Structure 1
Amino acid sequence: MQESLTRDTRLALDLALTVRHDGRGGVADDLADPAGLTTWIRAHPEIVPDAAAFTADRASLTAVRDLRAAVRAPFAHAVRPAELSRADAARLLPVPEAVARLNAAAARTPTVPVLHWPEGAEPAVHARAADGAHDLTAALAQATIAFLAGPDRQRLRARHAPRCMRCFLKEHPRQEWCRPSCGNRAGVARHHDRHKTVQGA
């Protein structure tokens, strides 16, 4: 993920991308169990205070997975008329339900802006729970809402490769894929479809 992306954009995308095609016809889920969520949170230390000591339990896993389901539906809505993924379409919530879930989760923990200005870096603002408590899903929901309401949403695209379940941010006008291997798979699939059509003629 590019360093230039905002914290909210990166968190929203990273959460959505924790479920993806596994390359073998199935689905890989980084949040399949509490250990997976623990690893993911520790890789995103800005989400919770003392992330290095964070250990997920079943309740936090369920809450984050439910929130992720609410994140993926507005992503699909944002990339219309393209589909987010044929592999994912049956799992997507209706957009109004997803938005209601996001708003409810975001409201659980009031936050205040906190300025961070490390030496040699630009100042940045991060949200922190106003009362010192922290609700994981609230932080993720607030980041997602900020992304969906911000300018980066306009660059969100669905990958067109077969069986793909991922989105990416378009970086230049001709970009069609998040990486070359994705484009290669799509080219092979188009060739296969053309070959089948010729044989059936």
Structure 2
Amino acid sequence: MPDSQLVLDLTLTIRHDGHGGVADDLSESAGLTAWVREHLPELGEFTADPVSLASVRQLRAAVRALFAKAVRPGEPSPADARRLLPEPEALARLNEAAARVPVVPVFAWGAEPLAELRPAAPAEPAELLTATLAREAIAFLAGPDRAKLRACHAPRCVRYFLKEHPRQEWCKPSCGNRARVARHHERHRSVQS
């Protein structure tokens, strides 16, 4: 089962900055280090370097491009609308990243039977990170949660989210409030004209 939240959290490292622009939590190595330590503690004391940062940022661009395809016929996130990777390039990046660390299924039987994928050979932490994120993205995009994926179109929002109930239109309540306020102001502006 893919870790949908991990994949979404990777895309959410691009966010509204609170001032009308877009912020990138992965703009420097320290941001990637903090993100990995929070989201993938099994990688231990991972410390990002410029190469691992570039690798994860390239993967994130591919995932966001494929998320934009997945939400069609809806519009992509406003952060992506003008700078999406071409689909063949996004697919190639994703597949190349997933192949960086070959894995094998390993079965263990402790209190309960457990099957998991593990690296076929020792791998560098940065390569393991990129390959793990890519495989999770592939599993998500090929799985049932893809049908629930939406781009939030509240004013200033650039997030993707999973639609959990039929009436959900925004990623979080604050986005719904901003959208309602914007519609209210638009209606009053139209009446006054």
User: What TM-score results when the alignment is normalised by the length of structure 1?
Assistant: 0.85
- Count how many residue pairs are aligned between Structure 1 and Structure 2: 190
Equivalence map 1:15-54=2 (5 Å): 15-45=10-40, 51-54=43-46
Question: Which of 159, 162, 178 is the aligned partner of 1:169?
Answer: 162
Change (3 A) 1:41 1:124: farther
Structure 1 residues 81 and 62 mapped into 2: Cα distance closer, same or farther (>3 Å)? same
Q: Which residue of the partner structure matches residue 105 of structure 2?
A: 113
Report SS of the residue matched to 1:28. strand
How big is each residue's C-alpha offset from its partner over 1:41-90, in whole Å with a ceiling of 9 and x where there is no partner?
Answer: 111226xxx52311000110011001100000110111112212223311
* In 2, Cα distance between equivalents of 1:68 and 1:198: 43
Cα distance in 1 for partners of 2:35, 2:113 equals: 25
TM-aligned CA deviation for residue 116 of structure 1: 7.1
Match of 1:179 among 172, 179, 182: 172
Paired residues for 1:9-158 under 5 Å:
9-45=4-40, 51-114=43-106, 125-134=115-124, 135=127, 136-158=129-151
- Going from structure 1 to structure 2, the CA distance change for 1:171 and 1:57 (only over 3 Å counts) comes to same
Which deviations, in whole Å up to 9, do the C-alpha atoms of 1:143-189 show, x marking residues without a partner?
A: 10110000111111111201211011111112222221110011111
Residues in 2 aligned to 1:107 and 1:63: alpha-carbon distance in whole angstroms: 13
RMSD over equivalenced CA pairs, Å:
2.1
Partner of 2:188: 195
Cα distance in 2 for residues equivalent to 1:20 and 1:139: 23
Change (3 A) 1:107 1:144: same
Are 1:87 and 1:163, in contact at CA under 8 Å, matched by a contact in 2?
Answer: no
Please give the alpha-carbon distance, in whole angstroms, between the structure 2 residues aligned to 1:188 and 1:21: 18
3-state SS of 1:80 partner:
coil
**For residues 14 and 192 of structure 1, what CA distance do their matches in structure 2 show?**
32
- One-letter code of the match for 1:149? A
Give the residue type in structure 2 aligned to 1:145: I
The one-letter code of the counterpart of 1:188 is V
Shift of the 98–171 alpha-carbon distance from structure 1 to 2, 3 Å rule, reads same
Rounded Cα–Cα distance in structure 1 between residues aligned with 2:163 and 2:49: 35
Deviation at 1:112, TM superposition (A): 1.9
The aligned amino acid for 1:22 is D
Structure 2 residues not aligned, in runs of 5+:
none
CA contact (8 A) 1:70 1:99 kept: yes
* SS state at 1:128 partner: strand
Q: Partner letter of residue 127 of structure 1?
A: L
Unaligned runs of 5+ in 1: 1-5
After TM superposition, give the deviation of residue 126 of structure 1 in Å: 4.0
TM-score by structure 2 length?
A: 0.88
Find the aligned partners of 1:145 and 1:109 in 2 and give their Cα distance: 15
